[in-house]
Structures are given as structure tokens and as C-alpha cells.
Amino acid sequence: KEVKIYTIVSDQLSPPITGESFCTDMVRHSDYAELEAKYAALVAVRTSAIPDGYGLVPQQIFLEPSDIELICSQCGDGHESGYGDFTDGLLWVGNIQRDDGSIVHGLHIS
């Protein structure tokens, strides 16, 4: 069965909304349960396709010179004349909170 999505304008609603002009997409109530079931099935497939401890990342990530410098500063021993001997580092995918409070999702190093 195909679920149809209808686009309506404000005066086609019941009751109509007057004085404001907008349009919205609508789905029949009888079709909504089917959409929810399809969405739940897609979530289940996606969840089962990505094992615990893994996340989706881009196939390639370009690193600018400043990114490489940051990696070196994170994984060096802090020697004054440079980065010194390299130490272990951990690459991880997830969220970090910046000083301004914004959340950034991506590949990080610790």
C-alpha cells in the first residue's frame, strides 16, 4: 500500500486558519500507523547494521596543516623544542562541548 502525503494551505485546515498564509504536508490518520511501523523497521535495520561501539564516519577526512599540528600537540610529550617523543593517542567518534557551549559531533583525538 502506498502512503500518500498531501500538501494543504492554511485555509484548507479544519477549522481553517485565516490571517496567516502557510502550507503543510499532511498524512491521513489511517496511514500514520503504517508510517510509524516502517520508520521503526528502518531504525531496527540501522541499529543492527552498526555494532555497539561503532559509528558511521566519512570514507575520507582531509586534514589541514593546523589539524596535523593539533594531533602532534595532543600526542607529543610536550618537549619545549618541539613535540618530543610521540605518545599514544586515541581517535574517537562522538560529541564534544566547546567552550561556547555548542556541541560538535565528529572524529576527535585524545
Instruction: Summarize pLDDT for 22-71 with one digit per residue, the tens.
Output: 778 777 777 888 888 888 999 888 888 888 777 777 777 777 888 777 77
Look at residue 89 in the predicted model and tell me its pLDDT: 73
88-107 pLDDT, tens digit each: 777 888 888 999 999 888 88
Kindly state the cell numbers that stand for 3.
Answer: 502512503
pLDDT at 99: 92
- pTM: predicted TM-score of the whole model, two decimal places: 0.37
Boundaries of every domain in the chain: 5-49, 65-109
Q: What is the pLDDT of residue 79?
A: 63
Q: 105 vs 47, 65, 74, 96, CA distance in Å? A: 19, 21, 19, 7
Is residue 19 a contact partner of residue 51, using CB atoms and an 8 Å limit?
Answer: no
- pLDDT value at 10 more than 70: yes
Among 29, 20, 21, 26, smallest CA distance to 8 is for 26
For 64-96, letters b (16+ CB in 10 Å) and e give eeeeeeebeeebeeeeeeebeeeeeeeeeeeee
